[in-house]
C-alpha cells in the first residue's frame, strides 16, 4: 500500500520525519503521555486516512462541500465501524476547528465529517485562550493539519454576554466573567461598525481570533508563512446550517 503523500515525500521526508517524530515524542513526554495518538507515529506505515492528506485550499474546499451536503440534507451515512482499526493507531485530520461549545453548532455534522477528519477544540465564544492555542499548536506541529477554521455562530450566548457587559456594564458570576473579558475587546471594536452589534461583534470576534492565532503562536505563524497552513474564519447560521466564510 502506498498513499500519495508518503510516496511523494519518501525521498525528502527522512529528516523531516525524524524531526516531526522527535517533536511528537517531546510533546507526548511533556504532556505526561496523555496526548491523543499522534500522526507521526501512525505514519511509520501510512496515514490512517490517506484521503485526508490535502493542501490548505483542498482542505477548505472539502469543508465547503461537506457543509453544502449538510445544508441540502444529503449528508453521507457514516458507518464508523470500518474506520476503527485504522484510527486506533493514529490520526490525520484534514482540518482543525476552534468552535463554540454551543450545543447547536456541531462541526462534525456541519461539515458532514466522520471520525478522524476534524480536530475540534471548543470553548464558549470560540476565542483563543492558552489551552485552545496549545491544542491547535498540537494539531499543526504534530498532526500537520493544513487548515484551521475559527467558527463563530449566530446568537452566541457568550458574545451576547460580552455585548451586555460592554453596553450595560453587566456582571457575571464565577469564571463566566473570564469568557466575557476575553470577548469584550472585540465587542468594543464592533461598536464602531454599522449594523446589529451582536452580529458585528460575532464576526469581529472571529476575525480577532484568526489574527490572534498567528500573532501569538510561532508554530501557527511559521506553518502559515511556509504555505502549509491556512487560518480562516466562518459564521454558522443556525436557521440554515450554512457556514459563511469570512473574507
Question: Which residues contact Zn ion (rule: CB under 5 A)?
Answer: 100, 102, 156
CA-to-CA separations, 193 to 165, 181, 187, 188, 198, in angstroms, rounded? 18, 20, 10, 10, 11
Q: Which is nearer to Zn ion, 10 or 177 (CB)?
A: 177
User: Minimal distance in Å, beta carbon 243 to Zn ion?
Assistant: 14
CB burial string 125-139: b at 16+ within 10 A, e below: bbbbeeebbbbbbbb
User: Minimal distance in Å, beta carbon 168 to Zn ion?
Assistant: 19
Q: In what order do the strands lie in the sheet with 230-236?
A: 118-122, 95-99, 147-153, 230-236, 243-246
According to DSSP, the β-strands at 230-236 and 147-153 are parallel
Q: Which is nearer to Zn ion, 62 or 205 (CB)?
A: 205
Q: Which is nearer to Zn ion, 100 or 187 (CB)?
A: 100
Q: Which is nearer to Zn ion, 102 or 117 (CB)?
A: 102
User: Minimal distance in Å, beta carbon 156 to Zn ion?
Assistant: 3
Question: Mapping DSSP to helix (H, G, I), strand (E, B) and coil, where does residue 122 land?
Answer: strand
User: Minimal distance in Å, beta carbon 179 to Zn ion?
Assistant: 10
Q: Which is nearer to Zn ion, 17 or 172 (CB)?
A: 172
User: Minimal distance in Å, beta carbon 214 to Zn ion?
Assistant: 23
- Confirm if 68 and 54 have CB atoms less than 8 A apart: no
Amino acid at each position: 500500500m502506498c498513499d500519495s503523500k508518503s510516496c511523494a515525500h519518501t525521498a525528502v521526508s527522512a529528516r523531516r520525519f525524524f524531526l516531526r517524530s522527535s517533536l511528537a515524542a517531546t510533546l507526548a513526554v511533556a504532556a505526561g503521555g496523555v496526548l491523543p495518538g499522534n500522526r507521526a507515529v501512525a505514519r511509520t506505515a501510512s496515514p490512517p486516512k490517506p484521503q485526508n492528506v490535502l493542501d490548505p485550499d483542498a482542505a477548505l474546499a472539502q469543508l465547503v462541500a461537506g457543509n453544502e451536503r449538510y445544508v441540502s440534507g444529503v449528508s453521507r451515512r457514516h458507518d464508523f465501524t470500518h474506520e476503527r482499526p485504522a484510527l486506533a493507531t493514529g490520526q490525520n485530520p484534514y482540518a482543525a476547528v476552534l468552535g463554540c461549545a454551543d450545543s447547536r453548532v456541531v462541526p462534525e455534522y456541519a461539515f458532514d465529517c466522520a471520525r478522524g477528519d476534524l480536530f475540534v477544540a471548543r470553548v464558549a465564544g470560540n476565542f483563543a485562550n492558552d489551552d485552545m492555542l496549545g491544542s491547535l499548536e498540537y494539531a499543526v506541529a504534530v498532526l500537520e493539519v493544513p487548515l484551521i477554521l475559527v467558527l463563530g455562530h449566530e446568537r452566541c450566548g457568550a458574545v451576547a454576554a460580552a455585548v451586555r457587559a460592554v453596553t450595560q456594564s453587566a456582571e457575571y458570576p464565577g469564571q463566566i466573567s473570564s469568557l466575557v473579558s476575553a470577548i469584550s475587546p472585540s465587542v468594543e471594536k464592533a461598536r464602531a461598525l454599522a449594523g446589529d452589534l451582536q452580529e458585528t461583534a460575532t464576526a469581529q470576534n472571529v476575525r480577532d481570533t484568526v489574527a490572534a492565532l498567528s500573532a501569538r503562536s510561532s508554530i501557527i505563524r511559521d506553518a502559515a508563512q511556509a504555505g502549509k497552513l491556512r487560518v480562516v474564519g466562518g459564521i454558522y447560521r443556525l436557521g440554515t446550517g450554512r457556514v459563511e466564510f469570512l473574507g
